[in-house]
Amino acid sequence: MPRLFPTPCPALMRRLRRGLAVAAGGVLMACSPGPADGQADRTEAARPDTRGLDAAMVERALVEARGLDRLHAVIIARDGEVLVEERLRGPGLDTPVNIKSASKSVLSALTGIAIERGVLEGVDQPVAPVLAADLPASPDPRLSDLTVGHLLSMRAGLGRTSGDQYGRWVTSPNWVRHALARPFEDEPGGRMIYSTGTSHLMSAVLTRASGRSTHALAVDWLGEPLGVRIPPWPRDPQGVYFGGNDMLMSPRDLLRFGELYRLDGVIDGRRILPEGWVEESWRSRGVSPWSGNGYGYGWFTRRSGGRDVHFAWGYGGQMLFIVPGLDLTVVMISDPNPHPRAESHLPALHALMDRDIIPAAVRGA
């Protein structure tokens, strides 16, 4: 059974006595036994036969993390065991925080469950009939081609409601109608156009197809079976919960959600996500025009050290990383408030993964 809470070990106690493992309320744990150094001559992309994390590399990562003034918390788990919990500043690790657009990954999970339960027909289901009440008076005929899969993969073709269009969209009297009325910039199923309005349409589809709020579905389908808390988050003027932004989860609960994906939708012996949904969600269908990273159903993918790193990404640095080849799940929570340097903070978080955390897992304890 995956262990999602740290357990004492002799190595930790020695570090505590030396005063090296506690800083800013965080605890470092890297005591799992590892193999001999001969493992180091394996190719970088091979799955290392190691456990735990290299303590020196993790300590270096935490020194760097403490120097990032926007970073609030870091949690690292390997094979379900929490090895690092560091609260640098900000709310506690059990306090729900705004995970921003990492919410899109949670919305994708709800969609997969909705398909499994028959609430939705599948990723190829057209969404116009479900959203008929909010279609424009003279709808573009391409709206009839929009599918669930297009919404999840940001390939609706509709003009963005993010970026410089965001304020106009969220101050409109009807968010769903506004998003559906955006002019097409590409054909449905074409290039990736990142737009939170597109994911909000998915929340509206879930709400209208199920007859229940997206929050109620999240609590019932994810919160209760995972044992995590998902408080209510903002809604649009018609009462549809914001699809793809402003969801609230604690850092520890976000880690638990990440473990669900690392374990292919099964946790504590119970299947929560439909079989194959994780693989489909991680399969890139579009490419971000800014980062060049692939995008699947609510998840980005990049390569690091010859390995796939799948991640949920929220504004300002709300990150959930999963490296299946290393049994690694990492949560990083940052200041979510608007800031001129907010997005320049993101490369520093990826660098922590690339330079320190992933190599620490490759080397092991």
Return the sign of the alpha-carbon dihedral for residues 93, 98, 104, 106: positive
pLDDT for the residue numbered 164 = 87
Greater confidence (47 vs 52) lies with 52
**What pTM, to 2 d.p., does this model score?**
0.87
Q: What percent of the chain has pLDDT over 90?
A: 82
List pLDDT tens digits, range 108-130: 999 999 999 999 999 999 999 99
Secondary structure (H, E, C), the chain = CCCCCCCCCHHHHHHHHHCCCEECCEEECCCCCCCCHHHHHCCCCCCCCCCCCCHHHHHHHHHHHHCCCCEEEEEEEECCEEEEEEECCCCCCCCCEECHHHHHHHHHHHHHHHHHCCCCCCCCCECCCCCHHHCCCCCCHHHHHCEHHHHHCCCCCECCCCHHHHHHHHCCCCHHHHHHCCCECCCCCCCCCCCHHHHHHHHHHHHHHHCCCHHHHHHHHHHHHHCCCCCCCCECCCCCECCCCCCEECHHHHHHHHHHHHCCCEECCEECCCCCHHHHHHCCCEECCCCCCEECCCCEEEEECCEEEEEEEECCCEEEEEEHHHCEEEEEEECCCCCCCCCCHHHHHHHHHHHHHHHHHHHCC
34 pLDDT band, cuts 50/70/90, is very low
365 pLDDT band, cuts 50/70/90, is confident
pLDDT at 361 over 50: yes
pLDDT at 1 over 90: no
**Closest among 153, 133, 158 to 143, alpha carbons compared:** 158
Weakest mean pLDDT among 15-24, 135-144, 316-325: 15-24
pLDDT for the residue numbered 344 = 79
40 pLDDT band, cuts 50/70/90, is very low
Instruction: Tell me the average pLDDT across 193-200.
Output: 97
**Closest among 254, 271, 270, 365 to 320, alpha carbons compared:** 254
Instruction: Tell me the average pLDDT across 209-216.
Output: 98
pLDDT at 9 over 60: no
13 pLDDT band, cuts 50/70/90, is very low
Q: How many C-beta atoms lie closer than 10 Å to residue 344's C-beta?
A: 11
Phi, psi of 323 (to 5 degrees): -120, 90
First-to-last CA distance in the chain?
21
45 pLDDT band, cuts 50/70/90, is low
List pLDDT tens digits, range 16-30: 233 333 333 344 443
The overall average pLDDT reported for the chain is: 88
pLDDT for the residue numbered 342 = 66
Q: What percent of the chain has pLDDT over 70?
A: 86
pLDDT for the residue numbered 47 = 67
Domains annotated for the chain, with CATH where assigned, are 10-93+250-261+304-363 (3.30.450), 102-210 (no CATH)
List pLDDT tens digits, range 61-97: 999 999 999 999 999 999 999 999 999 999 999 999 9
pLDDT for the residue numbered 19 = 31
List pLDDT tens digits, range 256-299: 999 999 999 999 999 999 999 999 999 999 999 888 999 999 99
Instruction: Give one word for 94, left, alpha or beta, with left for phi > 0 and alpha for psi -120 to 50.
Output: alpha
pLDDT at 37 over 90: no
Q: Tokens standing for 338? A: 């608007």
